[in-house]
Amino acid sequence: MNKPYIIGIAGGSGSGKTFFLKCFLEHFTADEVSLVSQDDYYIPVAHNMTKEENKEYNFDLPSTIDHEHFQQDISKLLNKEAILKQEYTFNNPDAIPKMIEIKPAPILIVEGLFILHFKDIAELLDLKVFIDADEDVALQRRLKRDLIERGYSHDDVMYKWINHVVPAYKEYLLPYKDECDRVITNNTHVAEDIMVITEEISADLRKKLF
């Protein structure tokens, strides 16, 4: 193939996007697919902030992403150039970020909250996948992740959810839901349900691309 096949995977916080991606990637080898995550393009701000400022800073806005760098790296991969990227450490000032090399492949996955909002990126996508979940399910997943994995307090998580996460989802992602080729409702806690869907999509892609 001359050009990689680009799959955009969008979903709000707590939609289960990460688990969907993990299942999907298991159907391909490292040479067959590469992944670019919007999270790795956050403009670093943590080292300038107090804990209170970090709590109030809204990370759920398109302006927090280095959109130009994100788009340039996608273009490089489409031109069969590898990219070198510093991983995003979720604004943890104590974490030492690793350098990630992303190599071009026949399938390129671009994932993130704003990939459909960024028109220059959305126009490149051959397949748009929207991962959906009921708000109460998504909130429970977010609470579990942020309380356990990231050490936030319950009040901090709820503040961000109400003031940042939900408004951003409604403004920058939900309006594009009807434009997507696949809308996957992920309210289940049964891993097999998502595994079946990823198996079906990957089988279709294999027929089409390989």
Residue 202: Cβ within 10 Å count: 19
Tokens of 39: 């999270």
Residue 113 CB partners (closer than 8 Å, separation 6+): 10, 11, 12, 13, 38, 60, 168, 169, 172, 173
d(CA 187, CA 172): 21
Residue 203: Cβ within 10 Å count: 11
Sketch out the chain's domains with CATH numbers: 5-204 (3.40.50.300)
Residue 111 CB partners (closer than 8 Å, separation 6+): 8, 9, 10, 17, 21, 35, 36, 37, 38
CB 32 within 8 A of CB 107: yes
Residue in this structure with the two tokens 């070198």, named with its chain if needed: 84
Q: What is the pLDDT of residue 204?
A: 93
Q: What is the pLDDT of residue 88?
A: 76
Length of the chain: 210
Q: What is the pLDDT of residue 90?
A: 66
Which neighbouring-strand residues pair with 9?
Answer: 111, 129
What global pTM score does this model have? 0.91
Which neighbouring-strand residues pair with 127?
Answer: 7
Q: What's the average pLDDT block by block, 10 residues per block, for the chain (210 residues)?
A: 89 94 94 94 78 83 96 96 84 76 96 97 97 96 87 91 97 97 89 89 91
Q: What is the pLDDT of residue 174?
A: 97
CB 172 within 8 A of CB 117: yes
Residue 210 CB partners (closer than 8 Å, separation 6+): 32, 106
